[in-house]
Structure 1
Amino acid sequence: MVTNNLRQRKLFIELVAWWEGAVTNKQLTEQFDISRQQAYQDFKSYNEQLPGNLIQTSHGFKPRKEFIAHYISSDINQYLQWFSTKQLHQYSPITSEVSHLSLPIRRVSVEVIRVLVKAIRQGKRMETNYISLSNPESDGRIFHPHTLVNTGLRWHVRGYCEKSQQYRDLVLSRFRGVAEIIDGPYQDDTLDLAWQTYIPLILQPDPRLSPEKKAVLAHDYQMEGGQLILNTRAALASYLLRELQVNIKMLDGTPEAQQLVLVNQDDIKKWLLNH
């Protein structure tokens, strides 16, 4: 019988082995604050239960080509949530009293993710192929990744792009082909002005709403003096406004649909994408 604690540790073994290409005894001991002997027993238990899934090497336990996930889902969000918070999320059935939206899973290359994570942790450049809506043909890029970002609907990686000679956001599902670590000077986030700069987003109810409706929104968002002030990295401001459904180009036809407006748009305009 597998206890919940052991199940969590086996989930961790699979999660890191699959998405990073290997998992070590040290990673297991640090994640769960257990002894090296306990970690050894956990790996032994996993391999006895699922023989042939992992192979032990000098760099840790690596997934075989025939690897079959037993404890983890195929959704990269499970790994990225752990990567950003170090908290494990085990998906479980939703009860009849609780439900949630099932967003489409974006296809992400595990081979690219392994190189990307390694590049971030080691402060290295990576060479890869990437496509975008403006350039749907795959093209090579040398990228200096520094941070993985969850915008709500998708994950992207922020870093310095040598092709555009500026810091950019690359969507994880748009990497193509293989990726590899390359030598050379690495440009980290200290020179990323939009990342290092924090700006306030001052929001208030749409002025076309009645006082009663404004009061509803003020209560919803715990506004003070009729305004909500959110401090955010300048690089993330546009994503935050999009999640709040704040249209900065024009007012929606009905104030009930618009709900919130950005008060200080002129002051922060240079930081907003596609303004």
Structure 2
Amino acid sequence: MPTMAANTASPNQRERLWQIDFLARFRGQVTRQDLAHRFGIALSNATRDFTLYRELAPGNLDYDHRDKVYRRTAQFQPLFTYDREHTLQTLSHGQAVGQEPCEQPILVDVAPALNQPDLDILAAVSRALYATRAIKIRYVSASSGESEREIVPHSLVNTGLRWHVRAFCRTHAQFRDFVLTRIIQADELNSATDPAIESIQQDVEWNRCLAVELAPHPAAAHKRAIELDYGLAPGESLKVNLKAATAGYLLRRWGVDCSLNASLSPDEYQLALINPASVSRQANLSIAPGFLQEIHRP
């Protein structure tokens, strides 16, 4: 948090200044109503917050008198320092808490995230998502190297291992996943999007829901231990609904044996996918453990 803000604002006002900064950076615009709704304050108080923010960061916001909204300028420089993990959680779950972490009297050891996106790239993608706009990106693919693409993002995806953006790729004329850490440049475009082709409603795999059934690995020595892990009664299976677009990621994250005959080691894969051949006809399971494309997709 900047020293000048800390010296001129109360803790409550610093939180509201952070809210202005966050929404301007990651949404591209912010209004007095945003503050009034979030913090339960009068619009006159919100006006004073914006006045102070613009004194502290005079080049960050332009006021649109017609729409009565403050918009991020091209010269925007964040007034606050952002933690990546907190930023991703805030984008995922909303601004339920302020910018300060809560004190935690119970010791909890959390595994660190090794893969986190650049915040400027994330902000550009986030603004495009909010405004339903296209962006031009430079992307480094693991299979084809660096290239330039125009994409229309519609959702962020946390696979548990890394963050993706789901988007319509104009280069390939199809919906694809792009790993955020592999985007090395992102520039907003002024071109209009085509809802009949590029909108989330046209993403068939994203909108297709699969009913997937998982069971303790048939070769496990003590299936009851696995059943207890997932709150299952003896002999019961775990039924979950997944998007076809993300099914492979989730089955990989959960360590589910997706081989045709549950042939992977139960010491490593405690769950097995029931009827993998049927599931693979409805979703791309190419990254799921044990998946064999030549068997499942004849």
TM score, norm. by length of structure 2:
0.76
Rounded Cα–Cα distance in structure 2 between residues aligned with 1:53 and 1:217: 58
Tell me, yes or no, if structure 1 residue 173 matches structure 2 residue 181.
yes
Tell me, yes or no, if structure 1 residue 19 matches structure 2 residue 26.
yes
Rounded Cα–Cα distance in structure 1 between residues aligned with 2:94 and 2:208: 26
Unaligned runs of 5+ in 1: none
Specify which of 241, 245, 251 is matched with residue 251 of structure 2. Answer: 241
Rounded Cα–Cα distance in structure 1 between residues aligned with 2:76 and 2:153: 27
Specify which of 56, 60, 63 is matched with residue 58 of structure 1. Answer: 63
Is the CA contact 1:206–1:260 (under 8 Å) kept in the aligned structure 2? yes
Is the CA contact 2:138–2:184 (under 8 Å) kept in the aligned structure 1? yes
Tell me, yes or no, if structure 1 residue 34 matches structure 2 residue 41.
yes
Specify which of 221, 230, 237 is matched with residue 227 of structure 1. Answer: 237
Which amino acid in 2 is paired with 1:57?
D
Tell me, yes or no, if structure 1 residue 155 matches structure 2 residue 136.
no
229-238 vs 2-11, which moves further: 2-11
Are residues 146 and 130 of structure 1, via their aligned partners in 2, closer, same or farther at CA, if it must alter by over 3 Å?
A: same
Q: 1:70-102: per-residue Cα shift (whole Å, max 9, x none)?
A: xx5231x43333333323454356556222112
Alignment map for 1:98-109 (pairs within 5 Å)? 98-108=108-118
Is the CA contact 1:128–1:141 (under 8 Å) kept in the aligned structure 2? yes
Unaligned runs of 5+ in 2: 1-5, 65-69, 292-298
Specify which of 209, 220, 237 is matched with residue 220 of structure 2. Answer: 209
Is the CA contact 1:199–1:234 (under 8 Å) kept in the aligned structure 2? yes
Tell me, yes or no, if structure 1 residue 256 matches structure 2 residue 252.
no
1:133 deviation in Å?
A: 0.6
Which amino acid in 1 is paired with 2:183?
F
Corresponding residue number in structure 1 for 2:294: none
Specify which of 128, 133, 136 is matched with residue 127 of structure 1. Answer: 136
Are residues 247 and 136 of structure 1, via their aligned partners in 2, closer, same or farther at CA, if it must alter by over 3 Å?
A: farther
Identity of aligned residues (%): 28
Alignment map for 1:74-93 (pairs within 5 Å)? 74-75=83-84, 77-89=85-97, 90-92=100-102
1:45 deviation in Å?
A: 5.0
1:231 deviation in Å?
A: 0.9
Specify which of 193, 207, 214 is matched with residue 204 of structure 2. Answer: 193
Rounded Cα–Cα distance in structure 2 between residues aligned with 1:265 and 1:127: 37
Specify which of 125, 142, 148 is matched with residue 116 of structure 1. Answer: 125
Is the CA contact 2:54–2:61 (under 8 Å) kept in the aligned structure 1? no
Is the CA contact 2:128–2:134 (under 8 Å) kept in the aligned structure 1? yes
Q: SS at the partner of 1:238? A: helix
Rounded Cα–Cα distance in structure 1 between residues aligned with 2:207 and 2:200: 8
Are residues 93 and 133 of structure 1, via their aligned partners in 2, closer, same or farther at CA, if it must alter by over 3 Å?
A: farther
Q: CA RMSD in A?
A: 2.9
Which amino acid in 2 is paired with 1:158?
R
